[in-house]
Amino acid sequence: MAATAEVAASASVGALCVIEAGAVIGERCSIGAGCTIQAGARVGNDTQLMPRVTLYQAVRIGERCLLHSGAVIGADGFGFAPDQAFGSRCRRWRRTDRGRRGNRRQHDHRPRRHRRHDRR
């Protein structure tokens, strides 16, 4: 943990966490083992980060949030663009979702055709 990182006294930080300079951890937060919080990131009060969560530079997480294991917030392509000291949302260019059978397809709001109709 960096000397200039601000961690509230009521926050709990797990083993092998990296908290860089300028990071702010709010009251009653729970930071799981192996988390990485880069410089300038802010975590709001009563927020829980499960193990192996990564917060990139200048990311802001609100109050009473839950981030599950392996989440990466602020990386390129995930709706974050550095803007001066903080960040701003950027438009996603491609969006996918899961179909009924677990296969990935492009999300275009068109109904799926039944297989017997596709044979015609």
Cβ(72)–Cβ(80) below 8 Å = no
The DSSP line for 23-37 is: -EE-TT-EE-TT-EE
Model confidence band, residue 45 (pLDDT cutoffs 50, 70, 90): very high
Domain boundaries, the chain: 6-90
Task: Output the pTM of the full model.
Answer: 0.64
Lowest-confidence pick of 16-30, 36-50, 67-81: 67-81
- pLDDT above 80: residue 16: yes
Q: What's the CATH code, domain 6-90? A: 2.160.10.10
Per-residue pLDDT tens for 67-107?
999 999 988 765 555 555 555 555 444 444 444 445 544 44
